[in-house]
Structure formats: structure tokens, C-alpha cells
Structure 1
Amino acid sequence: MARSRNIKPGFFSNEHLAELDFATRLLFIGMWTEADREGRLEDRPRRLKMALFPADNVDIEKMLADLDHLGFITRYTVGSFHAIQIVNWAKHQNPHLKEAKSTIPEMTVLEPCPVKVGASTMQAPDENSSFPADSLSSDSGFLIPDSLPPSPAPVVVEDLFPKFWKLYPRKVGKDKAEKAWAKLKVNPELFELMAKALGKQVLTPEWIKDKGQFIPHPSTWLNGKRWEDEIPDTPTNVHLLPVNRHTNFESRDYKAGTKENANGTFRI
């Protein structure tokens, strides 16, 4: 039996619901009218299709799966009975005091109730209220603030791959390198270690010889975590000058084999 329910303005601006298509959001509202006073209903997609979308070609099973995935409903089974629990039902709906108790078995494990023990936003059958459950007036007291808190400001993470690509001396296989980079989830600290290792490795004989043809591909370097390799200390001057063979000038006898002239000069 369909029932009157509340719908709050926050429903239309909920960014999590906005991820769903229009028909799925409409299904979510329609399920409230099909749910009992505890927010439970039978998990019967075909029946829901006939009750809520009799003239529309929609995939109810997929729509229910999307709502379940995002945490707006929970699909569960007790024995052979398939049921649906609408999440945070008591925080958003105030069933009429004359509604019958639920005959659908509850879930084996329920999420802890966020309200204080003994406090409930649902009217007990013997309570009287000046505000009927199907009232949509903004001052009726039933338009409870949204339970979904505002999303935190997004954390901007710098993409460090362009800096790595600029530093790496052998620029081949960029697509593979980007995939390997994504798996590593590189943060600034790890990037600093990589940069320091590259600064040493580019000076090693293995990377310098034969115009760098033995430098590993970037993806190979990343997948192998080659920044962790032990790198021997390299001289500051890579291009060493040859040893000078002209030595011991001070000990040579430049007079040997010559004759001294009267004026003090020498001749051979």
C-alpha cells in the first residue's frame, strides 16, 4: 500500500544522488511510498516496476544496484525472504501514527542508530501530534537537516609525472611509464628519492657509455624500483684527463753532452 512521505529540499542538491540518473532518483523517492513504517519493503524488482514505472522502459534491477552501491538502500536476505532497508529512514521520515507495524524481518546486523537512546523521530502509535506525517510545511518540524555532511574540500595532489619525465634521460614508452607511475602513487617524498637516485645514476659508466643505449626504459626503471639500487660514488669530473708524462723537470741535467763557451753559454 502506497503511503504519504516527506521529501526535503536537500534531496535535490545532494551531490551523491546527483551521480545517479534521473529515473534512479525518482525510483528512490517512489520506494519511500512503498516502504513500511520501519523503512522496509520487499526486494521485488518486477513489482516495483509495475507500481512506480508501469509505462516506462527502465532497468529496475540496475537502478536498485546503484542505490545499494552508493549506500542509500541495503538489500538483504533473511532465510528465503529478500528485503530492502532504506538507510537512515528514521532521520528523514515520520510515519503516520496509524501505520501498521512492519511485517518484514529486519536485518541481522543493523547500523548503530545515530540518535540518542530512547529518542526517535518516528511517532509512536499512541502518540498524538499536531503535525501529520505527510505534512510538507517547512515549519512542521519534520524537515530534519540532511544527514549527509557537506563534502570536505578536495585535496589537490600535484601530478609529479611530468617532472619525472623531464628528468629521465631516455624518453621512450611514455604510455607504459605513466601506467607504472600510477601504480606507485608517488608522493613528494618518494619523488625526491627518485630524483636524487637519477642524479647519481646518470653519471655512472653504464648510463654514459654508447650514447646511453643501456639506460633502462622509464617503465622498467619504475617497475623495478631502480631508485633503490645501490649506486657507487662517482667522481665529480667524469671526463678524467690523461696522466701527464712530462714529470721530474727539476731533477733533469740539461748540461749533459754539451760544452761550455767562454761567455758562459753551452754548445753541443
Structure 2
Amino acid sequence: MARARNIKPGFFANEHLAECDPLARILFAGLWCLADRSGRLEDRPKRIRAELLPYDSCDAGALLDQLQEHGFVLRYSRDGKQFIQVLNFNKHQNPHVKEAASSIPDPFEAEQAPGEDGIATEPDSDEHSTSTVQAPDQSDTNPADSLSLDSLIPDSLIPDPVTPQPPEGECAAVEGETDVLFANFWKLYPRKTDKAKAQKAWAKLNPDRPLFEKIMRGLGNHCASRDWIKDDGQFIPHPTTWLNGKRWEDEVRPAGTIHQFPGQSRHTDFDKRDYTAGLTQREDGTYAF
């Protein structure tokens, strides 16, 4: 039975998902509705096509292969049956508390079968099986459909690579997010100099979401300030200097409503100036101090 799920604005701008066919993208969103609360469902391409793409002539199996190739789903087998795991499902969905628990085997728990000597052995690998991937994170405490900063970052729905990840709580667990946040900062910073040094300064700060938002608000204020607008931006500091100095905390002077456009002379309104102000007029009509 299909279920109501959430979709974030970042879904539509995801560059990795854009490499899949349009029908594969629709299918990916539809899989959320068919998946159980753990993001799993039976791998039955014909039935999936009938449920999600009933009016389109397509090969649902090939579309699923595309999604797996780009790291959005995992197709695997257990006890001779085929299943699908939507990767990072619980990072982007918040199932209802009364939704039934998954009855489908977890692909991230190694399957064991008794051998001829009665000792459990690892299963033979096949086309869709795996035992080297860490399980997705548990459901977030925040509502999945809240308009958080995730919604504004185009790559927020990119799944983690299908490789073992460090334990939760270690610094390495946020490296991917740190890179994404830096990419957004770099895109908006007007003076792009020494990116490698700037990235090191950013990594040293290792900003969480509240600090990131504060940095970006400060950057927006600086971009609209007099000092950064005048003289074609020659007074904009290097990004590394700006980050190391925590310049987002500076008070800035807004540019105001008067702007000088390129090619516009500063020497104007001579006819409106009072050149006799402060002078004494002589009898012959001349002026003196």
C-alpha cells in the first residue's frame, strides 16, 4: 500500500539525480511511497512500474539499475527473494510512529546460512547482494518536511557513498556536509582567491548549521556594503583572511541608495557649487579670504 511521503526542493536541482533518465527520477520519488518505514520494498520491476508509471512504456528494471548505479538505491537478495533498499531513506523521511515495522531483511546485516558442518557461513555474493555497507542513519528527531537549510542546498539529497562510514559522532561523519557548506560559501564569495587555503580555513572552523547561517548572513551584508562595492571591489579581502578574522561579525556600512556606475564621472554638479562661501567681496567685485 502506498504511503504519503515528503519531498524537498533540493530534489529538483540534484545534479547526480539529473544524470538519470526523467522517468528514473519520477520512479525514485515513487519508491519512497512504496517503501516501508525502513525504506525497503520488494524488487518486482513489473509491479513497481504498474504502481508508479502505469501510463509510460518503459523498463522499470533498467530504471532501477540507473538509480543503483548513481547510489540512490541498493538492490539485493535474501533467501532467494529480491528486495530494494532506498539509501539514506530515514535522513529525508520521517515515517508515522504507528507505521508498521519493516518485515523485509536488512541488507546491511550479513546473511548467514549453516554449512555442511553446521557452522554458519557467509552467503555467496550475487548481482544485488552486499554485506559491506553501513546501515542508514536512524530517523531524525526533526520533522522531515521542515523547511530547514537542507531544503536550500541543491545537493542535500545526494546519498552517502555506498562504502563503510565512520561511527556516528566522529568528526569524519560530517566531512561531506562540511564540503557542501563550503561549496555554497565559495559560490557566493565575490573574490575567488586561493580556494585551497580558504577550504582549510573553513575546515578549521567546521561550522555547524547555525554558524553557517550566521556566516552567510554576514557575507550577504558585506556584499552589499560600501567598502565591497566601491572601486570595482578592490577592497574585498581574500576569503581566507575573511574567514580567519571572523569578519562576518563585523559591522558594515550599507551602500545606501546612491551608486556609482562604471564610466560615471565623480566630478559633477560644478554649476551648483557656491564658490564664494566664506570669502569677502571687495569693492571691485573680486573676492578675498
TM-score (norm 2): 0.43
TM-score (norm 1): 0.46
Q: Which of the pair has more CA radius of gyration?
A: 1
